[in-house]
Amino acid sequence: MLKLERAKVFRDPIYGYITIEYELFLKLIDTYEFQRLRRIRQLSGVSMVFQTAEHSRFTHSLGAYELARQCLIQVEGLAEALTEYEQLIFLASAMLHDIGHGPYSHAFEHVMKVSHEQMSINLILGDTEINKRLKDIPGMAEDIANVIGHKGKYPLIESLVSSQLDVDRMDYLSRDAYFTGAAYGNIDYRRILRSMKVIDNKIVCRASGVNSLESYIMARYHMYWQVYYHKKAHAYDLLLQSIYHRIYDLAENDIKVDASCEELVSVMKDTNDLSSYVLLDDSYVNGLIKQLTKSSDLILRDLALSFEKRSLFTPLEIDSEKASFVARTIYDKMNPKYRPYYYFSTSVRQTAYLHSDQSLNYDINDIKILDENNQIQSLEDYSPIIKGLILSGQKEIKRIFYKEPLCMVK
């Protein structure tokens, strides 16, 4: 496990520096697949509303890695609980957890029916530069794929990489808040890390850190409603989704799209076509859409023009009988062949805090508190605030989005 003689650092506004201590990570960063994340924005359509949120998945991936590194320093008992090899697995999983993201990822996943986690695993195990670098240490690629796929081999590492309180979420909340300029995501990650402790190979948080956890959970909640679920950003992502969807439908029917998008179509037919997949990024899609504004397929042309002119779908919140009626009327009046691309019935929901439910035998995500008497409780039992948030139930907003196809108007 070659340590660098002198650590290499990258400037970062969230942590001051990202510090790289092992050569392995420099090599991973240098791969084609990881560099590609520079060209995929972290927040897709959100930057149409919060215009400064132009940061990429590249910087978030480095951030998650750095936070993992700080866990090893700050979380009591963590470094001791892991061998050096396992520490590398932890750091690498944090760095690579988003490697499988495609351009405008949510729209992409929706049409492709494959999760970005699965794509991450494919890229880690497939014929890629990443895989070549990892192979230097036998078993490493498989073990990282295990962690990202939640296979249970390294439960402690899994819980730190992906749970309700993990390095992924802590980094993206801080980072997205910084780059949007929102005041909500300001979480006190240092205090959270300091309150964490490994007991019986599990992460627990000392009671002294409960306020920071409550704050973190609220920050997450607010970022979802204020930023990630913003109506306009949502409408923008749906437009992308329609474009993907139409290309997919044409491809299914063996109709050639009159624009250069072989790689995209190839991936749509086989998500294991990694060499095509890694060529997809925001530039690819933006470039394609520009071509599509001249497409002979009227729907594609219309969607592409809408994208270029930022003529987004209209949102309608379904919060009353009357609104439902209006929605139904819009639906009914729309030509059925346009509906899949121009009418969306959606629902955004967010529970401030997920708690385990015995009846569902579901508990991996629960945050555990080590109370003043050294007993372990669930966060919701310890914190009346969290209990209250659970009682408040899930907030859900039903929205439809729709649009008259432009090209059909005249």
- 3-state SS class at 163: coil
168 or 176, CB closer to a second copy?
A: 176
How far apart are CB 362 and a second copy at their closest, in Å?
21
Residue with Cβ nearer a second copy (152 or 181): 181
Give dist(CA 348, CA 396) in Å, integer.
6
Secondary element (H or E) of residue 32: helix 32-35
Which residues have C-beta within 8 Å of that of residue 33, sequence separation ≥ 6? 99, 123, 128, 129, 130, 278
**What single letter denotes the amino acid at residue 353?**
Y
Minimum CB separation of residue 71 from a second copy in Å reads 16
Comparing CB distances to a second copy, the nearer of 19 and 365 is: 19
- Cβ closest to a second copy, residue 114 vs residue 279: 279
Torsion, CA 45, CA 47, CA 53, CA 58, rounded to 10:
40
Amino acid at 383: S
- At 348, is the secondary structure helix, strand, or coil? strand
* Minimum distance, C-beta of residue 370 to a second copy, in the bound complex (Å): 13
**Identity of the residue, 188 or 302, whose beta carbon is nearer to a second copy in the bound complex:** 188
- The minimum distance between CB 145 and a second copy, in angstroms, equals 26
* Half-sphere exposure (Cβ direction) of 300: Cα atoms closer than 13 Å: 24
For the residues of 268-311, what is the DSSP string, one character each? HH-TT-HHHHTT--HHHHHHHHHHHTT-SSHHHHHHHHHHHTT-
The alpha-carbon radius of gyration of the chain (Å, integer) is 23
| Alpha carbons 247 and 251: distance in angstroms, whole number | 6
Q: Rounded to the nearest whole angstrom, what is the least distance from the CB of residue 112 to a second copy in the complex?
A: 21
Nearest-approach distance from CB 191 to a second copy, in angstroms: 7
User: Please, is 141 exposed, middle or buried when counting C-beta atoms within 10 Å of its C-beta (0-12, 13-18, 19+)?
Assistant: buried
Q: How far is the CB of 79 from a second copy (least distance, A)?
A: 14
- What is the Cα–Cα distance from 390 to 203, expressed in whole angstroms? 22
Q: Which is nearer to a second copy, 56 or 118 (CB)?
A: 56
Tokens (6 digits) for 259: 């624009």
Angle, helix 298-308 to helix 282-292, in steps of 10 degrees: 120
- Tell me the closest approach of the beta carbon of residue 253 to a second copy, in angstroms: 26
| Cβ atoms within 10 Å of 290's Cβ, excluding its own | 13
Q: Which is nearer to a second copy, 179 or 244 (CB)?
A: 179
Query: Closer CB to a second copy, residue 18 or residue 300?
Result: 18
Residues 85 and 129: beta-carbon distance below 8 Å: no
CA–CA separation, 121 vs 142, rounded Å? Answer: 9
Closer residue to a second copy, CB minimum distance, 194 or 368:
194
Q: How far is the CB of 163 from a second copy (least distance, A)?
A: 22
For residues 248 and 241, what is the distance between their CA atoms, to the nearest angstrom? 10
Minimum gap (Å) between residue 150 Cβ and a second copy: 29
Question: Going by DSSP bridges, is the β-strand pair 3-12/314-317 parallel, antiparallel, or unpaired?
Answer: unpaired
Q: Which residue, 178 or 248, has its beta carbon nearer to a second copy?
A: 178
